[in-house]
Amino acid sequence: MLTRKVKSVILAAGKGTRMKSELPKVLHTIFDKPLLGYVIDSVNKTGYVSENFVIVGHEAEKVEAYVNENYTNAKCVLQSPQLGTGDAVNKTMPYLKDFDGYVIVICGDTPLITSETIKSFIDFHEINEADLTVMSAIFENPKNYGRIIRDKNKKFIAIAEEKDATAEQKAVKEVNAGIYCINWKTVSPAFNSLQNNNAQGEYYLTDIVKWAVNQNLNVQSYILDNNEEIFGINSKLHLSQAIKILNRKNVEKLMEDGVEIIDPDTVYISPETEIGADTIILPNVYITGKNKIGSHCKIGPFSQIRGGTQIGNNVRIGNFVEIKKSIIKDNTNVSHLSYIGDSELGSKVNIGAGTITANYNPISKIKSKTIIKDGANTGSNSVLVAPVTINEMASIGAGSVITKDVEPYSLAITRSPMRIFSNWVKTKIEQLSGGIK
């Protein structure tokens, strides 16, 4: 149990020029979840952090809208203009004026950092009775990272940024991971003494290390075990690499937990999706958002499941099927070429090939619900226009457009009578050939 309260400062003010996008860097997504969301969630899941301060700047209103909509323990703080990471943390001074605890500082573009690592980092800080702890990592090629500088006695004394480092300092392989744990009452005065006499003309957060050393404070470094966790997103290439790293870890964990994934290289599954043991995931399946899938299901190939979906046990989701924000109960089949959105499907329902739930009204912008109760089935190429309910054991004829509720055990058909015109094709051919056979 920690002896002090913990709050966080999350740096999310940058434009992300190399992303070459109008969207703020921290709002780019992995599995439909913004990078910033991964960081805030990891901080919250430690169970230690009571409040988060998100530093916003570029397109601040967009970032703030996301934070306010999704988090109750996060407050956005504006940094304008952006004068460096030290200045960013300094903007929280009015909110932390009387705070006597630990402050975690972390970047909002590092979606791979885990709550377990952050928790261990905070524990390390307290166990070592540190005033300031910096997370570090060992890289064989440390280019672009700030270097951890130690004296001849191996004591941690400073961080040298790449652009300001000497040739000797650039040879150092221990780098700054960009995550800090600060005894706020003791170290916060450092932010009032930061200088911007560097190559960037910015106020570096890293300079608080030198300040703390000069004050004879206890400065520690926590060496990270898995360097992938501090992978920062600075380009679309980095984004794609992070997706692969996160997906690989998640897919491997699912297989360890009893999920059978036929081809891990072609399957993408969000880390917020739960899947029961003995479910089979076939190739080219894409699952985003937060979902729950039961046991003994078969998903794919070429299926997409979007956020907000709950699937029971022994369910079949087949090829070229898309499921979005729906509940599907046990022993139900959605096997071919179908779209099920904003729907509730009971147990032992059979969805015929090509069935879609027409859930969106483009004029009113309203999405409505389709309910298909136990034992009902739809014929191929059916369109169910929401809001609509297909009751127990009802059947929908192939090719029907259903706009009204269907009673239990009923058959609903909306189909023009079939007409056959004998020799129609033969007559057309003769007309086109001028009567020549």
257: which 2 tokens?
Answer: 């937990």
34: which 2 tokens?
Answer: 């913004």
Number of H-type helices and E-type strands within the chain: 9, 37
70: which 2 tokens?
Answer: 């999704």
Taking only Cα atoms into account, the Rg of the chain, rounded to an integer number of angstroms, comes to: 29
DSSP 8-state code for residue 299: E
Q: Rounded distance, CA 315 to CA 332, Å?
A: 5
Which single residue is written with the structure tokens 């937060």?
290
Q: Rounded distance, CA 24 to CA 363, Å?
A: 30
Q: Rounded distance, CA 381 to CA 352, Å?
A: 7
Q: Rounded distance, CA 326 to CA 172, Å?
A: 53
User: Which of these is catalytic: 28, 125, 296, 336?
Assistant: 336
Q: Find residue 304's DSSP bridge partners.
A: 286, 322
20 in the Ramachandran plot: left (φ > 0), alpha (ψ -120 to 50) or beta? left
Q: By three-state DSSP, how is residue 39 classified?
A: helix
Residues 213 and 157: beta-carbon distance below 8 Å: yes
156: which 2 tokens?
Answer: 């941690």
Q: List the alpha helices (DSSP H) in 226-336.
A: 236-256
Residues 148 and 208: beta-carbon distance below 8 Å: no
Which single residue is written with the structure tokens 């791979």?
112
Q: Rounded distance, CA 232 to CA 227, Å?
A: 11
Q: By three-state DSSP, how is residue 424 classified?
A: helix
Q: Rounded distance, CA 334 to CA 304, Å?
A: 12
Question: 296 an active-site residue?
Answer: no
Q: Rounded distance, CA 254 to CA 265, Å?
A: 14
Which sequence positions are flagged as catalytic? 336
